[in-house]
Amino acid sequence: MKRTEKISSIILLIVGVIIVVDTILAQFFMIGNKQNSLTLVYCIAFVLLCTQFPNILKKKYVVIPMYIMIIQMFYSLFSKLIW
């Protein structure tokens, strides 16, 4: 069980960093497309894995990409309302 939790947290970290970098490139530099389907799959996997492995929320390297995505979402909403 411990090995599965470790592998899933590493996968969440890698996919989260990819989504954050992709969103930054698409939002600020107009490079590429935002991967909405990958983001949706990441969010579903995050919720399912957090319910299966509650200790995954204690790992900062798993939670920080989610926080960055939430900040990017608020920035996107505010920028669309202003412009």
pLDDT digits (tens, 9 = 90+) for 17-52: 999 999 999 988 988 888 889 999 999 999 999 999
Residue indicated by tokens 């996107």: 76
Number of domains within the chain: 1
| 3-state SS, residue 79 | helix
Give me Rg for the CA atoms of the chain. 14
* CA gap 12, 32 in Å, rounded: 22
User: Is this prediction's pTM over 0.95?
Assistant: no
Domain that holds residue 50: 2-82
pLDDT of res. 56: 92
